[in-house]
Amino acid sequence: MPNSARRMHPLARLAAAIVALALSGPVGAVQPKAGPAPATTAKTWIGRTGEIEAYLRTAPIVRTESTERGVTKPVRAFFESGGPVASMTWKALPPGRSNGFYESYKSEIAAYEIDKLLNLNMVPPRVEREMDGQPGVAVMWVDGARTFAETGGVPTPPPAKSRAWNVELIRAKMFHDLVGDLDPNLGNWLVDPAWHVILIDQSRALTTDTTLVHTLQRVDRALWTRMRALTEPALTQALSRWLDRDQIRAVIARRDRMKKEINRLLREKGAKQVYVR
Protein backbone atom coordinates (compact mmCIF):
# COMPACT_ATOMS: atom_id res chain seq x y z
CA MET A 1 0.00 0.00 0.00
CA PRO A 2 1.48 3.43 -0.90
CA ASN A 3 2.51 5.63 2.00
CA SER A 4 0.02 8.29 0.90
CA ALA A 5 -2.84 5.80 1.16
CA ARG A 6 -1.74 4.80 4.65
CA ARG A 7 -1.88 8.41 5.78
CA MET A 8 -5.49 8.79 4.66
CA HIS A 9 -7.95 7.98 7.44
CA PRO A 10 -9.27 4.47 6.81
CA LEU A 11 -12.89 5.44 7.49
CA ALA A 12 -12.78 7.94 4.62
CA ARG A 13 -10.65 6.04 2.10
CA LEU A 14 -13.35 3.89 0.52
CA ALA A 15 -16.41 5.89 1.53
CA ALA A 16 -15.29 8.82 -0.61
CA ALA A 17 -15.04 6.58 -3.63
CA ILE A 18 -18.38 4.79 -3.39
CA VAL A 19 -20.80 7.34 -1.95
CA ALA A 20 -22.48 8.01 -5.32
CA LEU A 21 -22.99 4.33 -6.05
CA ALA A 22 -24.52 3.74 -2.64
CA LEU A 23 -27.48 5.89 -3.68
CA SER A 24 -30.21 4.77 -6.05
CA GLY A 25 -28.71 6.08 -9.28
CA PRO A 26 -26.58 3.97 -11.63
CA VAL A 27 -23.65 6.34 -12.07
CA GLY A 28 -20.33 5.07 -10.69
CA ALA A 29 -17.90 7.18 -8.69
CA VAL A 30 -14.88 6.29 -10.80
CA GLN A 31 -14.64 5.00 -14.32
CA PRO A 32 -12.68 1.72 -14.42
CA LYS A 33 -9.70 1.09 -16.61
CA ALA A 34 -11.48 -2.00 -17.84
CA GLY A 35 -14.67 -3.58 -16.55
CA PRO A 36 -14.98 -7.29 -15.95
CA ALA A 37 -16.03 -9.41 -18.90
CA PRO A 38 -19.48 -11.01 -18.80
CA ALA A 39 -20.56 -13.71 -17.05
CA THR A 40 -19.22 -16.31 -14.61
CA THR A 41 -19.14 -15.77 -10.88
CA ALA A 42 -15.92 -16.27 -8.94
CA LYS A 43 -17.93 -17.32 -5.89
CA THR A 44 -17.24 -20.98 -6.48
CA TRP A 45 -17.54 -21.74 -2.76
CA ILE A 46 -21.31 -21.26 -2.65
CA GLY A 47 -22.94 -24.59 -1.80
CA ARG A 48 -19.51 -26.16 -1.12
CA THR A 49 -18.30 -24.38 2.00
CA GLY A 50 -17.88 -27.51 4.13
CA GLU A 51 -15.83 -29.26 1.45
CA ILE A 52 -13.64 -26.21 0.85
CA GLU A 53 -13.11 -25.51 4.56
CA ALA A 54 -11.92 -29.09 5.08
CA TYR A 55 -9.61 -28.82 2.07
CA LEU A 56 -8.07 -25.57 3.28
CA ARG A 57 -7.37 -27.17 6.66
CA THR A 58 -5.75 -30.40 5.49
CA ALA A 59 -4.75 -30.44 1.81
CA PRO A 60 -0.99 -30.87 1.20
CA ILE A 61 0.83 -27.74 0.04
CA VAL A 62 3.14 -28.23 -2.94
CA ARG A 63 4.78 -24.80 -3.02
CA THR A 64 4.54 -21.30 -1.58
CA GLU A 65 5.39 -17.81 -2.74
CA SER A 66 5.38 -14.38 -1.12
CA THR A 67 2.80 -11.80 -2.15
CA GLU A 68 2.57 -8.02 -2.19
CA ARG A 69 -1.15 -7.95 -1.42
CA GLY A 70 -2.00 -5.44 1.31
CA VAL A 71 0.21 -4.38 4.19
CA THR A 72 0.32 -7.86 5.73
CA LYS A 73 1.87 -9.50 2.61
CA PRO A 74 0.49 -12.99 3.22
CA VAL A 75 2.03 -16.17 1.86
CA ARG A 76 0.32 -17.73 -1.12
CA ALA A 77 0.28 -21.53 -0.90
CA PHE A 78 -0.57 -23.81 -3.84
CA PHE A 79 -2.26 -27.21 -3.75
CA GLU A 80 -2.01 -30.11 -6.17
CA SER A 81 -4.14 -29.62 -9.28
CA GLY A 82 -7.59 -31.12 -9.41
CA GLY A 83 -8.82 -30.08 -5.97
CA PRO A 84 -11.72 -27.76 -5.14
CA VAL A 85 -9.28 -24.89 -4.51
CA ALA A 86 -6.12 -24.12 -6.47
CA SER A 87 -4.40 -22.01 -3.80
CA MET A 88 -4.85 -20.11 -0.57
CA THR A 89 -3.34 -17.18 1.24
CA TRP A 90 -2.02 -17.73 4.74
CA LYS A 91 -1.11 -15.18 7.38
CA ALA A 92 -0.23 -15.52 11.03
CA LEU A 93 -1.12 -12.11 12.55
CA PRO A 94 -1.36 -13.07 16.23
CA PRO A 95 -3.80 -10.75 18.05
CA GLY A 96 -2.15 -7.43 18.85
CA ARG A 97 -1.38 -3.94 17.60
CA SER A 98 0.60 -3.46 14.38
CA ASN A 99 1.02 -0.39 12.16
CA GLY A 100 -1.28 1.56 14.47
CA PHE A 101 -4.12 -0.98 14.27
CA TYR A 102 -5.27 -3.96 16.30
CA GLU A 103 -4.93 -6.94 13.94
CA SER A 104 -5.71 -10.62 14.32
CA TYR A 105 -5.98 -13.64 12.07
CA LYS A 106 -8.86 -14.68 14.34
CA SER A 107 -10.84 -11.62 13.20
CA GLU A 108 -10.58 -12.91 9.64
CA ILE A 109 -12.19 -16.21 10.62
CA ALA A 110 -14.86 -14.52 12.75
CA ALA A 111 -15.82 -12.22 9.84
CA TYR A 112 -16.31 -15.29 7.64
CA GLU A 113 -18.44 -16.96 10.30
CA ILE A 114 -20.63 -13.85 10.53
CA ASP A 115 -20.95 -13.81 6.73
CA LYS A 116 -22.27 -17.38 6.97
CA LEU A 117 -24.73 -16.48 9.74
CA LEU A 118 -26.09 -13.73 7.51
CA ASN A 119 -26.13 -15.88 4.36
CA LEU A 120 -24.26 -13.02 2.69
CA ASN A 121 -21.78 -15.01 0.58
CA MET A 122 -19.38 -12.10 0.13
CA VAL A 123 -16.49 -13.40 2.26
CA PRO A 124 -14.53 -16.37 0.84
CA PRO A 125 -13.96 -19.43 3.04
CA ARG A 126 -11.25 -19.23 5.66
CA VAL A 127 -10.14 -21.52 8.45
CA GLU A 128 -7.40 -21.81 11.05
CA ARG A 129 -4.33 -23.71 9.84
CA GLU A 130 -0.79 -24.14 11.07
CA MET A 131 2.26 -23.62 8.88
CA ASP A 132 5.72 -24.31 10.27
CA GLY A 133 4.17 -24.81 13.69
CA GLN A 134 2.52 -21.38 13.73
CA PRO A 135 -1.27 -20.90 13.71
CA GLY A 136 -2.81 -18.52 11.22
CA VAL A 137 -5.70 -18.08 8.82
CA ALA A 138 -5.94 -19.94 5.53
CA VAL A 139 -8.10 -18.07 3.03
CA MET A 140 -9.39 -19.44 -0.25
CA TRP A 141 -7.68 -17.59 -3.10
CA VAL A 142 -10.41 -16.24 -5.37
CA ASP A 143 -9.58 -16.69 -9.03
CA GLY A 144 -11.28 -14.65 -11.73
CA ALA A 145 -11.88 -11.48 -9.70
CA ARG A 146 -10.05 -8.17 -9.47
CA THR A 147 -9.74 -5.60 -6.73
CA PHE A 148 -11.26 -2.16 -7.08
CA ALA A 149 -7.70 -0.85 -6.97
CA GLU A 150 -6.85 -2.96 -10.02
CA THR A 151 -9.87 -1.63 -11.94
CA GLY A 152 -8.86 1.96 -11.24
CA GLY A 153 -11.59 2.65 -8.69
CA VAL A 154 -15.15 1.53 -8.10
CA PRO A 155 -16.17 -0.16 -11.36
CA THR A 156 -19.14 1.13 -13.36
CA PRO A 157 -21.36 -1.74 -14.52
CA PRO A 158 -23.31 -1.95 -17.77
CA PRO A 159 -26.75 -0.35 -17.47
CA ALA A 160 -28.52 -3.70 -17.12
CA LYS A 161 -26.43 -4.46 -14.02
CA SER A 162 -26.58 -1.03 -12.38
CA ARG A 163 -29.36 -1.66 -9.88
CA ALA A 164 -28.04 -5.06 -8.79
CA TRP A 165 -24.53 -3.62 -8.49
CA ASN A 166 -25.72 -0.79 -6.27
CA VAL A 167 -27.43 -3.35 -4.01
CA GLU A 168 -24.16 -5.30 -3.83
CA LEU A 169 -22.34 -2.17 -2.65
CA ILE A 170 -25.03 -1.36 -0.10
CA ARG A 171 -24.91 -4.87 1.35
CA ALA A 172 -21.10 -4.76 1.54
CA LYS A 173 -21.22 -1.44 3.40
CA MET A 174 -23.77 -2.82 5.85
CA PHE A 175 -21.46 -5.77 6.54
CA HIS A 176 -18.47 -3.49 7.07
CA ASP A 177 -20.50 -1.45 9.56
CA LEU A 178 -21.56 -4.56 11.46
CA VAL A 179 -18.05 -6.03 11.75
CA GLY A 180 -16.35 -2.66 12.19
CA ASP A 181 -13.85 -3.07 9.37
CA LEU A 182 -11.61 -0.06 9.98
CA ASP A 183 -9.57 -0.55 6.80
CA PRO A 184 -12.07 -0.66 3.90
CA ASN A 185 -9.54 0.23 1.20
CA LEU A 186 -9.96 -0.43 -2.51
CA GLY A 187 -7.60 -3.42 -2.40
CA ASN A 188 -10.00 -5.29 -0.11
CA TRP A 189 -13.03 -5.08 -2.41
CA LEU A 190 -13.16 -7.44 -5.40
CA VAL A 191 -15.48 -7.61 -8.41
CA ASP A 192 -16.05 -10.77 -10.44
CA PRO A 193 -17.26 -11.12 -14.05
CA ALA A 194 -20.87 -11.48 -12.88
CA TRP A 195 -20.63 -8.12 -11.06
CA HIS A 196 -20.61 -9.59 -7.58
CA VAL A 197 -18.74 -7.95 -4.71
CA ILE A 198 -16.27 -10.13 -2.79
CA LEU A 199 -14.76 -8.84 0.47
CA ILE A 200 -11.31 -9.85 1.73
CA ASP A 201 -8.94 -8.98 4.58
CA GLN A 202 -10.90 -8.29 7.75
CA SER A 203 -7.84 -8.66 10.01
CA ARG A 204 -8.46 -5.15 11.41
CA ALA A 205 -12.17 -5.72 12.01
CA LEU A 206 -14.12 -6.97 15.02
CA THR A 207 -12.39 -4.96 17.71
CA THR A 208 -14.25 -3.35 20.61
CA ASP A 209 -14.51 -0.09 18.64
CA THR A 210 -18.19 0.61 17.90
CA THR A 211 -17.56 3.19 15.17
CA LEU A 212 -19.67 2.76 12.02
CA VAL A 213 -17.35 2.75 9.03
CA HIS A 214 -19.91 3.92 6.46
CA THR A 215 -22.81 6.35 6.59
CA LEU A 216 -25.71 4.45 5.10
CA GLN A 217 -28.25 6.10 2.83
CA ARG A 218 -29.95 2.95 1.49
CA VAL A 219 -30.52 -0.42 3.14
CA ASP A 220 -31.09 -3.97 1.90
CA ARG A 221 -34.24 -4.94 3.81
CA ALA A 222 -33.62 -8.73 3.73
CA LEU A 223 -30.05 -8.40 5.00
CA TRP A 224 -31.10 -5.93 7.67
CA THR A 225 -33.77 -8.38 8.87
CA ARG A 226 -31.08 -11.02 9.35
CA MET A 227 -28.78 -8.54 11.11
CA ARG A 228 -31.56 -7.49 13.50
CA ALA A 229 -32.12 -11.15 14.39
CA LEU A 230 -28.55 -11.59 15.68
CA THR A 231 -28.30 -12.15 19.42
CA GLU A 232 -25.37 -12.25 21.80
CA PRO A 233 -25.94 -15.96 22.64
CA ALA A 234 -26.03 -16.90 18.94
CA LEU A 235 -22.89 -14.91 18.20
CA THR A 236 -21.16 -16.36 21.26
CA GLN A 237 -21.91 -19.88 20.08
CA ALA A 238 -20.51 -19.15 16.61
CA LEU A 239 -17.58 -16.89 17.51
CA SER A 240 -16.31 -17.59 21.04
CA ARG A 241 -13.30 -19.47 19.67
CA TRP A 242 -12.22 -16.37 17.77
CA LEU A 243 -13.50 -13.36 19.71
CA ASP A 244 -13.72 -12.49 23.39
CA ARG A 245 -16.90 -11.35 25.14
CA ASP A 246 -16.23 -7.64 24.62
CA GLN A 247 -15.58 -8.08 20.91
CA ILE A 248 -18.82 -10.05 20.53
CA ARG A 249 -20.77 -7.43 22.45
CA ALA A 250 -19.28 -4.77 20.18
CA VAL A 251 -20.93 -6.51 17.19
CA ILE A 252 -24.29 -6.08 18.92
CA ALA A 253 -23.43 -2.48 19.83
CA ARG A 254 -22.57 -1.63 16.21
CA ARG A 255 -25.78 -3.31 15.05
CA ASP A 256 -27.76 -1.21 17.54
CA ARG A 257 -26.05 1.96 16.27
CA MET A 258 -26.99 0.91 12.74
CA LYS A 259 -30.58 0.43 13.94
CA LYS A 260 -30.65 3.95 15.33
CA GLU A 261 -29.36 5.43 12.06
CA ILE A 262 -31.66 3.33 9.87
CA ASN A 263 -34.69 4.25 11.97
CA ARG A 264 -33.75 7.91 11.55
CA LEU A 265 -33.57 7.45 7.77
CA LEU A 266 -36.96 5.74 7.77
CA ARG A 267 -38.52 8.62 9.70
CA GLU A 268 -36.98 11.25 7.44
CA LYS A 269 -37.32 9.58 4.03
CA GLY A 270 -39.81 6.74 4.34
CA ALA A 271 -39.36 3.07 3.60
CA LYS A 272 -39.59 3.41 -0.19
CA GLN A 273 -36.58 5.75 -0.24
CA VAL A 274 -34.52 3.71 2.23
CA TYR A 275 -35.07 0.03 1.42
CA VAL A 276 -33.73 -1.23 -1.89
CA ARG A 277 -35.67 -4.49 -1.82
Full pLDDT tens readout for the chain, 277 residues: 333 333 444 444 455 444 444 333 333 333 334 444 445 899 999 999 999 999 999 999 999 998 766 556 789 999 999 999 999 999 999 999 887 889 999 999 999 999 999 999 999 999 999 999 999 999 999 999 999 999 999 999 999 999 999 999 999 999 999 999 988 789 999 999 999 999 999 999 999 999 999 999 999 999 999 999 999 999 999 999 999 999 999 999 999 999 999 999 999 999 999 999 7
DSSP-derived pairing of the beta strands 126-131 and 101-103: unpaired
In terms of Cα–Cα distance, which of 123, 255, 95, 129 is closest to 190? Answer: 123
* Longest Cα–Cα distance in the chain: 57
Comparing CA positions, the residue from 53, 14, 64 lying closest to residue 190 is 14
Rounded CA separation 16/173 (Å) = 13
Q: Which of 50, 90, 54, 49 shows the shortest CA–CA distance to 69?
A: 90
Q: What is the pLDDT of residue 33?
A: 42
Phi, psi dihedrals of residue 60, rounded to the nearest 5°: -60, 140
Structural domain span for residue 7: 3-274
Domain count, the chain: 1
pTM score of the predicted model: 0.86
The pLDDT score that the predictor gives to residue 184 is 79
